[in-house]
Structure 1
Amino acid sequence: MTTELETFCTPEGGWTTADLDRLPDDNRRRELLDGILLMPPPPLTTHQKLTARLMAALDDMSPDGYAAVHGVEVRLNDRRTFVPDGVILHAANDDGHRHWYAPREVVLAVEVVGEGTETLDRVLKPALYAQAGIPFYWRIETEGGALEVVTYRIDAVNEVYTETGRWTKFVDTGEPFPINLPISRITPRVR
């Protein structure tokens, strides 16, 4: 009984990524915000399907030198780590054997706004990703059943993202590489 309790008691001084690495691999998403443990609810099936379809599409169209993956951590520092819905990495950093990456290894972070994570996905995470220097950010809105992809590029001087487009039919951008992606390709099928 004490092992379950001890597992989730806040360590003195707050949680670190080293503490997370010592937890059992139980398929729970764990994130840290300034040493505070966050455990967002598991994404719904439609959220997972959307993420899988998007990352597969981006991986298919990415040129050599890039890799699109999902379910990996981006460790901003030892007391801040998040699991974006998807990321595009510099391929040289993806050996297939890692579960976390530093911000300098990430080209694009993607968040699908989900119920219960709206403020994290729309406000907090983009602010912290920009401060960490991740060049591009995509936010996918799903309210009302229609998808909207909002794309951003970093203003590195001010460490904030600047919106570069809102896409409802297709994403047509040259950043971080040429992308012409019909929204229908990433929309989960209704069965």
Structure 2
Amino acid sequence: MTALPDWMRPPRAEGWFAEDLDRLPEAPRHTELIDGALVFMMSPQRSWHGRLVTALTTTLMEQASDGFDIEREMTIRLDARNRPEPDLLVTTKPFDPDRTWYAPEDVQLVVEVVSPESAHRDRTVKLRKYAEAGIQHYWRVEEQDGAPVVHVYELDEPTGVYAPAGIFRQILERPVPFKIKIDLSRLVPNRKS
């Protein structure tokens, strides 16, 4: 067994904090902080996932109203010990080339595209944490027979939890956070060889 590199050792007895992520240049790309633990994307990303995230990002950028911006793979500092990195987010903050994270109040929509290694976190842990942070809208995208299926949630203010707002196949149409209409069948070619 080889020794852990120094950068993988928590800087204090209490473990990792959100600000520590900015001091880890050696960490793999897509490193998240969940409950004070570093979470790495260790398995190779499937082509389906990458193409879907790219197509969805482009489509949302084309439809975004003034005052909204789309970011891909940027962390959200939920609190001192949580800084997850969604696949994409919709924000009201203007572009800042030096930004490394967003505050929850600046995020209107979070989108997670489920992969086998992230399924549990995307379906349960992040669903709860984004709601607790007050993020208004959450989309979880699953793959079904090569096609995207989008599970849409809206924050129920009195309870502070997400309420299901629909499951979309083929066409996704939403009035929030801005008017959105997406032909899901066109996001990723549905061919298997």
Partner of 1:8: 8
Alignment CA distance shift 1:67-1:10 (3 Å): same
Partner of 2:64: 62
TM-score by length of 2: 0.90
Establish whether residue 117 from structure 1 lines up as the match of residue 118 from structure 2: yes
Percent identity, aligned pairs only, is 35
Distance (whole Å) between structure 1 residues aligned to residue 72 and residue 155 of structure 2: 21
Alignment CA distance shift 1:55-1:178 (3 Å): same
| Amino acid across the alignment from 2:146 | G
Alpha-carbon offset, residue 78 of structure 1: 2.1
Post-superposition Cα deviations, 1:2-47, rounded to whole Å, max 9, x if no partner, equal 9962110133211012222111156521111221111123532221
TM-score by length of 1: 0.91
On the 8 A contact 1:93/1:105 being kept in 2, the answer is: no
Establish whether residue 137 from structure 1 lines up as the match of residue 110 from structure 2: no
Partner of 1:87: 89
Stretch moving more, 143-152 or 101-110 = 143-152
Higher helix share: 1
Alpha-carbon offset, residue 188 of structure 1: 4.4
Distance (whole Å) between structure 2 residues aligned to residue 171 and residue 88 of structure 1: 16
Partner of 2:53: 51
Aligned residue runs from structure 1 range 144-183, under 5 A: 144-183=145-184
Distance (whole Å) between structure 1 residues aligned to residue 172 and residue 26 of structure 2: 36
Alpha-carbon offset, residue 49 of structure 1: 1.1
Distance (whole Å) between structure 2 residues aligned to residue 27 and residue 93 of structure 1: 27
Distance (whole Å) between structure 2 residues aligned to residue 162 and residue 51 of structure 1: 24
Query: What secondary structure sits across from 1:177 in the alignment?
Result: coil
Distance (whole Å) between structure 2 residues aligned to residue 176 and residue 57 of structure 1: 14
List structure 1 segments (4+ residues) > 3 angstroms apart after TM superposition: 188-191
Tell me the number of residue pairs that the alignment of Structure 1 and Structure 2 aligns.
189
5+ residue gaps, structure 1: none
Query: What secondary structure sits across from 2:89 in the alignment?
Result: strand
5+ residue gaps, structure 2: none
Distance (whole Å) between structure 2 residues aligned to residue 163 and residue 96 of structure 1: 34
RMSD of Structure 2 on Structure 1 (CA): 2.0
Partner of 2:40: 39
